[in-house]
Amino acid sequence: MPEVSSRSESEERFSGPALLEVSGLVVDFGGVQALDDVALKADPGSIVGVIGPNGSGKTTLLNVISGIVKPTGGSVRVGGEELVDFLPEERRDVGVVRSFQDCLLFPDLSVEDTLLLTKDAKKSTSVTSTTLQAPWARRSEREKREAVDRVITVFGLDRFRNHPTSHLSTGTRRVVDLASIALADPRLLLLDEPTAGIAQREAEAFMPLIRRLHEAADTTILIVEHDVPLVFGLCSKVVVMEAGRVVASGSPDEVKRDPRALAAYLGASDEALAVSGPASDTSINRSGRD
Ligand SMILES: Nc1ncnc2c1ncn2[C@@H]1O[C@H](COP(=O)(O)OP(=O)(O)O)[C@@H](O)[C@H]1O
Ligand SMILES: [Mg+2]
């Protein structure tokens, strides 16, 4: 079966958490320099956070890595392979996965069916082979159900299994989104503001959930998040952006002590700082902002 053997070869070639290396990224939106010579690196299996004020280029950076936005210059290497000319779906095929917006795309489907559908979108067995119940199609059907059962358990979704996604709280829907992501077998996962728009109490439960996703999916994660204390608690490395540039990068402790990071940190989200409080050993002095 050529289809089957080529799939397993590519799975072998593109498996395990990926090294991400971007350099020299430039994006110009009709005069607005959204990215200006941006470089960063994420080691395989690490969680790297990107913080910075609104409009500093964080989402554009994720869009360039996932292929939605084409940079005018620069390089995006994943697992040593240059992807800058790849289409988004080609990047998807080598394991670059971007967070899904909201599982409410299918409001009437149950949690279980939503997850089965996600797994279907990922698997490449043709409809014809499934219809004919070819042995490999039956095997992949069983593997799909096992994978879905596993993420339902890992993410504590058992009691919501048969609930339509439209009946869930925003926070629980976000958990379903995380479970969908784990099913997509990412090697590099790009998360843009996963706690945006959810209640503070639910946002606080997010750190362990992202850790669980990190373990379940065995992937490198690049996360943009306005909740700065969450980023400092979760990430081994933090990158601070301001006006399209990386102004600081390092371990959370290094970044907290970096004066260049402070202004960007203060500007990251007044709302997040107000509800989460400042990171433990950083004294926030609003008048010290210049
Ligand atoms: N599609 C677009 N067209 C024009 N300008 C854009 C577009 N996307 C983003 N920008 C601009 O690029 C800059 C960076 O935006 P963005 O990457 O969304 O920042 P962030 O995610 O840090 O808030 C902003 O000035 C924004 O207005
Ligand atoms: Mg953004």
Q: Does the beta carbon of 75 sit less than 6 angstroms from any atom of ligand 1?
A: no
Ligand lying nearest the CA atom of residue 241? 1
Alpha helices in 57-205 (DSSP H): 58-66, 88-93, 111-122, 127-131, 135-154, 170-183, 200-204
Q: In terms of pTM, does the model score above 0.85? A: no
Looking at the predicted structure, is the pLDDT value of residue 105 above 50?
yes
CA–centroid distance, 233 to ligand 2, in Å, is 20
Which distant-in-sequence residues (6+ apart) come within 8 Å of 46 by Cβ? Answer: 220, 221, 235, 236, 237
User: Distance between CA 107 and CA 94 in Å, rounded?
Assistant: 29
Q: Does the beta carbon of 63 sit less than 6 angstroms from any atom of ligand 1?
A: no
Residue environment code for 195-209, b if the CB has 16+ CB neighbours within 10 A, otherwise e: beebeeebbbebbeb
Over range 163-183, report the average pLDDT.
Answer: 89
Paired tokens of 120: 């279907």
Q: Does the beta carbon of 70 sit less than 6 angstroms from any atom of ligand 1?
A: no
Q: Does the beta carbon of 15 sit less than 6 angstroms from any atom of ligand 1?
A: no
Would you place residue 143 in the very low, low, confident or very high pLDDT band (cuts 50, 70, 90)?
confident
Would you place residue 150 in the very low, low, confident or very high pLDDT band (cuts 50, 70, 90)?
very high
Ligand lying nearest the CA atom of residue 56? 1
Give me the phi and psi of 26, to 5 degrees please.
Answer: -130, 125
Quick one: which atom of ligand 1 is closest to the CA of 69? Answer: 1
CA–centroid distance, 242 to ligand 2, in Å, is 12
Quick one: which atom of ligand 1 is closest to the CA of 244? Answer: 14
Looking at the predicted structure, is the pLDDT value of residue 287 above 80?
no
Q: Give the single-character DSSP code of 244.
A: T
Other CB atoms within 10 Å distance of the CB of residue 43:
15
Atom 8 of ligand 1, residue of closest alpha carbon: 60
Q: What is the CATH number of domain 2-235+249-275?
A: 3.40.50.300
Mean pLDDT computed over every residue of the chain: 82
State the sign of the Cα–Cα–Cα–Cα dihedral 85, 87, 88, 94: negative
User: Distance between CA 246 and CA 236 in Å, rounded?
Assistant: 17
Q: Does the beta carbon of 82 sit less than 6 angstroms from any atom of ligand 1?
A: no
- Are the C-beta atoms of residues 177 and 209 closer than 8 Å to each other? no
Name the β-bridge partners of 82: 77
Atom 16 of ligand 1, residue of closest alpha carbon: 57
Q: Using one digit for the tens of pLDDT, what is the confidence trace for 192-218?
A: 988 888 788 878 888 898 999 999 899
Q: Does the beta carbon of 60 sit less than 6 angstroms from any atom of ligand 1?
A: yes
- Are the C-beta atoms of residues 16 and 38 closer than 8 Å to each other? no
Q: What are the sequence ranges of the domains in the chain?
A: 2-235+249-275
More confident residue, 83 or 138: 83
Q: Using one digit for the tens of pLDDT, what is the confidence trace for 247-286?
A: 999 999 999 888 877 766 665 444 444 444 444 333 333 3
Q: Does the beta carbon of 171 sit less than 6 angstroms from any atom of ligand 1?
A: no
Paired tokens of 240: 């601070």
Question: Taking Cα atoms as reference points, which of 15, 3, 16, 73 lies closest to residue 39?
Answer: 73
Residue the block writes with tokens 């956070």 = 49
